[in-house]
Structure 1
Amino acid sequence: MRKLRNDRDIIELVSEDEWMMKILHTAGSLGLPDWWVCAGFVRSKVWDYLHGYTERFALPDVDVIYFDPSITDEAVEKELEQKLRSLMPEVPWSVKNEARMHLANEIEPYASAVDAMSKFPETVTALGLTLDERKRVVLSAPHGISDLLEFVVRPTPYFEQSPELMAIFEKRLVQKNWRSRWSKIEVAAR
C-alpha cells in the first residue's frame, strides 16, 4: 500500500477507482455549474484505503452539490436525482443546490459550492471531487486533508462557533458511528 501524503495522492487513488470515476463522469454529464461529489464519497474511500479494506463501504448516499442561484427550486434537484438514477440506478444519489441550502439551514447565503462545503459539520466531510474541462479529477478540501489522513474527526471552524451547531456535530458523531467501521479514527479534543 502506498502512502497518501497530499492532494495529488488522493486524486491518483480516486482516478484509479473505476466506480468513483464513473460516478464523477455521470454527475458531470448533468452540466451543472460549480458541481462537486462530496463528503462521505471522498472520506470513505480514503479511510477504507488507509485501513486496508478491499471492500467498499456502502454509502447511505452519494452527495452531489452544485451552485446555481438562477434556479433554486428544490423540485429541480429531485429531477436531477431522477436523471442520475436513470443512468446509475444502483447509486443512492442526493443532489443539492447550495444556492438555496442557506435557507434550509437558516444561515447567511453561501458564495459558492466550496463555500458551502467549508461549512459542513466535520473537516473530514468538507471534501469534494469534480472534473475539470479535460476530465481530470480535482479535489477541494477547504480545511485541508491532514485530519482526513490522520483519522481526526473535528468540527469545522463554522460549527465550532456556536453551541447549537456543536450539538449537531456531537449528534452526528453518535449517529454516524464511524469508529465501528474505521477503528483508527479519533475525535479531536474540544
Structure 2
Amino acid sequence: MIGRLPLDEQLAALEAALARNDVLLEVLDRVGVLGLPGWYVTAGCLFQTVWNVVTDRPPTHGIKDYDVFYFDATDLSWEAEDAVIRAAAEAFADLPVHVEVRNEARVHLWYEQKFGVPCAPYPSTEAAIDSFAATTCCLGVRQEPDGRWRVYAPHGLADVFNLVVRPNPVLAPRAVYEAKTARWRQQWPEVTVLDWPA
C-alpha cells in the first residue's frame, strides 16, 4: 500500500500519479509561465487524480476544476486580482476545463460574506492551503523552473493514497465539508469519509 511507504517513495508515487493527468500537466506548465508569486495548483484536481489512478479510473474522472492559488500582498484590490484572472483565462482558454485562479492574500476580504465565518489574513499560500475543510485537500504542487516538483503536504500523503477524507475544522464550516464529501462519495464510492468532530 502506497500510504505505508516511506515519505520519499510516496512523493515519487505522487509525481507518477499526477503525471498521468495530461490536463494537470498542461495547467502546471501554463501557470509557470504566468509568473505568479508563491503559486501552487492545489486541492481536488490533485488528490482526485490520485484517487483515479489508485481505483483504475481515467485520470481526469470527476474533477470539477483546477484550483490555482498565488499570494500577492502588494496590491489587495479586486482590480489587480481580476487582471490576473483575466490573463489566466486567456492562457487556459483552449483547455476543456475550468481553471480558477485566486490571490490568497485577499481571501479575508470576502470569506465571511461567502461562508459566514471570519477569516484572518493569510501570511502565505501555504497558510491558505492549511485551511481547507479536509486535510486530504491540503496539498499543493508546482513545477520549479528546473523541472523539479515542489510539493506542499502539511498532513502527509497517506490519507490521499488510502482514500481517507479527514475533517480539518480550523476555518471552513461543517456544512462545506459535508457538501464536498457528499459529492466525492458519489464520484468515488471507495472513499472513507470521517465524521466532522462533535
Q: Is this a same-fold pair by TM over 0.5?
A: yes
User: 1:181 & 1:84 partners in 2: Cα distance?
Assistant: 28
Matched, 1:138 2:156: no
- Tell me which of 79, 91, 100 is aligned to 1:75: 79
What is the DSSP-based 3-state SS (H/G/I as helix, E as strand, rest coil) of the residue aligned with 1:124?
helix
Alignment partner of 1:125 is 2:133: no
Identity of aligned residues (%): 28
Q: Distance in 2 between matches of 1:178 and 1:49?
A: 15
Q: Deviations over 1:112-137 (max 9, x none)?
A: 10111000111111111112231222
**Is 2:108–2:121's contact at 8 Å kept on the other side of the alignment?**
yes
SS of match in other structure, 1:101 = helix
Aligned residue among 12, 17, 39 for 1:8: 12
Specify whether residues 22 and 134 from structure 1 end up closer, same or farther in structure 2 by C-alpha distance, changes over 3 A only.
same
Counterparts of 1:53 and 1:186 in 2: how far apart (Å)? 17
Partner of 2:179: 171
Asked whether the 8 Å contact 1:143–1:156 carries over to 2, the reply is no
Are 2:115 and 1:109 aligned? no
**1:186 to 1:108, Cα distance in 2 relative to 1, 3 A:** same
CA distance in 1: counterparts of 2:170 and 2:77, whole angstroms: 26
Aligned residues between the structures: 183
Q: Which moved more, 1:142-151 or 1:39-48?
A: 142-151
Please state if 1:59 is matched with 2:59.
no
Cα separation, 2, equivalents of 1:48 and 1:21: 16
Q: CA 1:148/1:55 → structure 2, altered by over 3 Å: closer, same or farther?
A: closer
Regions of 4+ moved over 3 Å = 2-5, 15-18
Partner of 2:42: 38
Structure 2 residue runs of 5 or longer lacking an equivalent are 112-117
1:153 to 2:159 alignment: no
Q: Which residue of the partner structure matches residue 99 of structure 1?
A: 105
CA RMSD of aligned residues (A): 2.1
- 2:67 alignment partner, SS class: strand
User: How far 1:157 sits from its partner (Å)?
Assistant: 4.6
